[in-house]
């Protein structure tokens, strides 16, 4: 299926500049994974609160980690998905179930059907790009 999704620069700007809580799914203490450096910059450069979500529930960057989105107390503004495209639909469905405000599928992560489900549920959607790539374009 072709990727019909087009990211809205105004939406990206809004997500990056509005202080919020970003649940980073796939963020672990593995320093070689892109999520490790990207999440720290989302926190330190864009002022977002980051919430690590990983199978072990381990803390990362001094932030309390959780095993699943459903375990996070309070509202989640953005679910940042560092999982492969085959698994992201499940994460998007969890984001819908917890009432998240948006899903951000990282560079190389794409699922058109999941994006449509999220939009239909009222979530904002960014797909197949990284905040660190988008920031210079929109800020």
pLDDT in tens, 84-130: 999 999 999 999 999 999 999 999 999 999 999 999 999 999 999 99
pLDDT in the model for residue 11: 97
pLDDT in the model for residue 4: 58
pLDDT surpassing 80 at residue 2: no
3-state secondary structure the chain: CCCCCCCCHHHHHHHHHCCCEEEEECCCCCCCCHHHHHHHHHHHHHCCEEEEECCCCCCECCECCECCHHHCCCCCCEEEECCCHHHHHHHHHHHHHHCCCEEEECCCCCCHHHHHHHHHCCCEEECCCCHHHHHHHHC
pLDDT mean across residues, the chain: 95
């Amino acid at each position: 299926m072709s990727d019909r999704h087009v990211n809205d620069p105004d939406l990206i700007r809004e997500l990056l500049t509005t202080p919020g809580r970003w649940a980073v799914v796939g963020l672990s203490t593995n320093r070689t994974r892109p999520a490790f450096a990207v999440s720290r910059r989302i926190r330190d450069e864009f002022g977002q609160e980051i919430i690590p979500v990983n199978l072990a529930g381990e803390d990362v960057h001094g932030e309390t980690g959780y095993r699943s989105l459903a375990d996070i107390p309070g509202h989640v503004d953005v679910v940042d998905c560092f999982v492969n495209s085959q698994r992201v639909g499940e994460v998007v469905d969890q984001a819908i179930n917890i009432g998240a405000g948006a899903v951000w599928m990282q560079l190389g992560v794409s699922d058109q059907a999941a994006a449509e489900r999220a939009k239909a549920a009222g979530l904002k959607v960014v797909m197949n790009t990284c905040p660190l790539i988008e920031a210079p374009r929109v800020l």
